[in-house]
Amino acid sequence: MSDGIRLELLAAAEVTALRTEVLERLGARAAAVTAALDRAPAGWTLHGRAAEPVPFGGGTLLIAGGPAASTLDRFDADLRMLQAADVAAFCRLADALPQVSVVAPPCFTPPGVVAPGEGSDGGGRPAASACAAATGSPAAATGPLRTAGGSLPAAATALAATGKHLLLSARGVVEAQAIVDMALAVAGGRDALRERPPLSMWVWPGDKTADMVRLAAEAGVPAFLPVVPTGGGRTALIEALSAGLKTTAGAQNVAPGAPVALSLLADRDGPLDVAGFAAAAAACQLAHSFGLPLAATTLSCSAATPDWLASAENTTAALTAWLAGADGLAGAGLLRGGSVTSLVQLALDAEIASYVAATVAGVRVDDESLAVDVIEKVGIGGNYLGEKHTRRTMRHVWRPRFFDRVPCEQWIREGRRQSAELAAEFVERTLADHHVPPLAPALVAELERIVRRAAAS
């Protein structure tokens, strides 16, 4: 049988060398940190209010979305800021796509609310420029930091639009507490939350990171902790990873066994190039060497539209992450470095994920698949089409949704249709037909109360 294909970009000796460097970075705290990390789980189960539970850790989950604040909803449309209806559509499409396991809703500014300007506020929300400087990520500067209330206004919309597990962004302690309160409300109590968490918290980098992670850990909400190699390269990766390990260890000291994953944020203002792909693969190996799961946010391609560049970047990113064993792959449906959402891009990224997952499944080798008897029977110059073995096994052949495979003359006759067009039609059909079980009115009211309370803080 095949266990699938795995890629180890770093040889064992290289992992050891980088681990040593990370531990040296931790200095006198290295022993305490590694002891605390021994209590951290390597995986857990993610639940949704109306979806099958999915195991996180040991396989690659596709995460749709992220804290973008703009949208491009058709192939050649101009950019505009996201609105509630856009967030709902994005989440509902993600709900319908079987390849998507987790939804990270994008953000919008509620009507009548002014987006924040410069300066930090008492809620622990860092200024856009400071966060952008810290992370180097365009999404940091244009995502929830440009929206009043961050991801919270979108949370209620998202919960209504998808039954899958949600990943909500917290920029500060106030938002982190609100996410914990939402998780409690959706799960139905503290014990239920610990056993079946319906939400995870995506902690934004800043001076309150450790506080936010501790809040999540105490409540049993899984946290995704940012690892942001600012400036790129191995040095940056080591520094970022050591900071992440310290924070994770802190969470374990507060709540042993708290589910904390590392989340590699791509640091770039251009295409995710060699350094980014290699960093994601290396980061996976290093995180796993410390017993921690890692989600790579490497699908947020730099392209402006769902075109050749988007495809080349995301296919390479996806295959690298899958081969390296990343536990999550985030950013499906995002363009321009994660700052723009696109429904077409989401559908196409799901296709890429399906393609890659089929590729890394490897070759099953057993008597049935070797088919020696069938080969002897068909013989020289024969045809396998009519064989029972073919009928029995051909259903495993991968089938695309948005690939063109017709003869060239037919393709020209039918209007030279591109993958993005096919995806756009699929999106429209899906949004028209897909149904998500509604939220109970009482829960909707509670979520709105939580958002108002956070906004008033």
Q: Chain centroid to CA 325: how far?
A: 14
Among 12, 370, 440, 445, binds other proteins (CB under 8 A): 370
Strand order in the sheet with 70-71: 80-81, 70-71, 340-341, 334-335
**DSSP conformation letters of 420-444:** HHHHHHHHHHHHHH---PPPPHHHH
Q: How far is the CB of 247 from other proteins (least distance, A)?
A: 17
Q: Which of 31, 365, 440, 445 binds other proteins (CB under 8 A)?
A: 365
Residues 411 to 450: which contact other proteins by CB under 8 A?
Answer: 411-412, 416, 418-420
CB of 88 to other proteins, least distance (A): 25
CA distance 158 to 88: 6
Residues 146 and 263: their CA atoms lie apart, in Å, by 22
- Choosing from 207, 273, 428, 448, the residue that interacts with other proteins (CB under 8 A) is 273
Query: Rounded distance, CA 394 to CA 321, Å?
Result: 28
Choosing from 145, 310, 321, 332, the residue that interacts with other proteins (CB under 8 A) is 310
Q: How many CA atoms lie within 13 A of 69 on its CB side?
A: 22
Whole-number Cα distances in Å, 152 to 102, 169, 201, 317? 17, 8, 11, 29
Q: Which of 404, 430, 431, 434 binds other proteins (CB under 8 A)?
A: 404
φ, ψ dihedrals at 162, nearest 5°: -145, 145
Q: Is 308 among the residues that bind other proteins (CB under 8 A)?
A: yes
State which residue, 83 or 393, has the beta carbon closest to other proteins.
393
**Stretch (H or E) spanning 52:** strand 51-56
Site for other proteins in 53-82 (CB under 8 A): 76, 79
Give, as one character, the DSSP assignment of residue 339.
T
Q: Considering only residues 9-28, where is the footprint of other proteins by CB under 8 A?
A: 9-10, 14, 17-18, 21
- Residue 26 or 361: the one with the smaller Cβ distance to other proteins is 361
Candidate list 81, 130, 192, 361; residue touching other proteins; CB under 8 A: 361
185 to 244, contacts with other proteins by CB under 8 A? Answer: 231, 234-235
Nearest approach, Cβ of residue 397 and other proteins (Å): 5
**Cβ-based nearer residue to other proteins, 34 or 315:** 315
359 binds other proteins (CB under 8 A): yes
CA distance 159 to 92: 10
Q: How far is the CB of 355 from other proteins (least distance, A)?
A: 6
